[in-house]
Structure 1
């Protein structure tokens, strides 16, 4: 049995025709109305014309921050308009995140956001994934990272007042990861992905330590 994953897309950008593009809104996000058609799996011919609304947004980046010495990790909490219809609360537990400004790369963005949102300096950034959060409606790309920081004095309320930010910092023990995974307040996609990765990472680290102990 092989562990190699083999996949090759049948189509690419050349198999899509944008027949019309109209800008409907330009603000914090841009909204476009598209008239497009694309090739079909069954016969490789172009299908019927379809209409879609596309939300265009700058690339974003997020980082799960942890302190391996204290065995703690940091999350933030803030109000989110997109969660107004949430069953529980519009205030969301999240990882530190933000939109990448012109002239920035993802790591520069995250170092800036960590200072603004949590007043902490992050180090040892490692990219985990680069993905589309919602291709059914948006062209946004999300860059997910993990990083370390000294969380000895982490806490408080932070954020850029001129941007309407009111951000509360929470610091949790590694031992609380399992409880977080079972919590109904774990409802943010980037947080779920980051925490699942982190649990697997800690499990692998523990397995390595046990193996080294057996070898010695």
Structure 2
């Protein structure tokens, strides 16, 4: 079995931003040849599948500039560098929906684009929700909706939900039922 590891021999930072950084790594490939890799440094994020006692799931609709349209998504947010994902999930659930959870459980984590990004997304299940108040960030505008799992599956089939973390969380949750 071949060792697929690529050894980094040099790294150069090209850009430092508020949300991400960009670097180029010079690597030695498994066959000994040299190459380079463009890497997006991102601290990762959390997403929360928030299920109310009645079984409905909280979904937010938010404009995403990169997609240039408003998308239906589960509540989510960016980790600060070094931040604990559990704490981030609690904060983002409250900020985006106005709910807190007495039962927050990590379901899975995944790399959405491992070909060029270090970003890792942690998906949480939030149950036993308690409504508090919405306290969004100053630059964040969103609407909160409630849907049944069957409605969400139909929205995926109709291409109304196109956000990867949301699709993964919903399909994963179906397998828990």
Range into which the TM-score falls when normalised by the shorter chain: 0.7 to 0.9
Partner Cα separation in structure 2 for residue 10 and residue 167 of structure 1:
48
Q: Which residue of 2 aligns with 1:191?
A: 166
Decide which of 21, 24, 33 is 2:24's aligned counterpart: 33
Partner Cα separation in structure 1 for residue 55 and residue 171 of structure 2:
17
TM-score by length of 1: 0.73
Q: Which residue of 2 aligns with 1:101?
A: 80
Q: Which residue of 1 aligns with 2:8?
A: 18
Decide which of 31, 44, 54 is 1:70's aligned counterpart: 54
Partner Cα separation in structure 1 for residue 24 and residue 7 of structure 2:
14
Structure 2 unaligned regions, length at least 5: none
Partner Cα separation in structure 2 for residue 176 and residue 128 of structure 1:
21
Partner Cα separation in structure 2 for residue 104 and residue 17 of structure 1:
28
Superposed structure 1 runs of 4+ greater than 4 Å apart: none
Partner Cα separation in structure 1 for residue 146 and residue 123 of structure 2:
19
Question: Which protein has the bigger strand share?
Answer: 2
**The 10-residue stretch of structure 1 (22-31 or 180-189) with the greater mean CA deviation from structure 2:** 180-189
TM-score by length of 2: 0.88
For the aligned residue pairs, the C-alpha RMSD in angstroms reads 2.2
Secondary structure at the aligned position of 1:121 is classed as: strand
Where in structure 2 are the equivalents of 1:162-201 lying within 5 Å?
Answer: 164-201=139-176
Partner Cα separation in structure 2 for residue 133 and residue 174 of structure 1:
23
Structure 1 unaligned regions, length at least 5: 1-8, 40-44, 85-89, 203-216
Bigger-Rg structure (1/2) = 1
Alpha-carbon shift at residue 122 of structure 1 (Å): 1.7
What is the aligned length? 176
Deviations 1:108-144 (A, max 9, x none): 1111111111111123112111221101111111111
Q: Which residue of 2 aligns with 1:79?
A: 63
Partner Cα separation in structure 1 for residue 148 and residue 50 of structure 2:
12
- 1:158–1:168 contact (8 Å) kept in structure 2: no
Secondary structure at the aligned position of 1:82 is classed as: coil
Distance 1:10 1:130, change over 3 A: farther
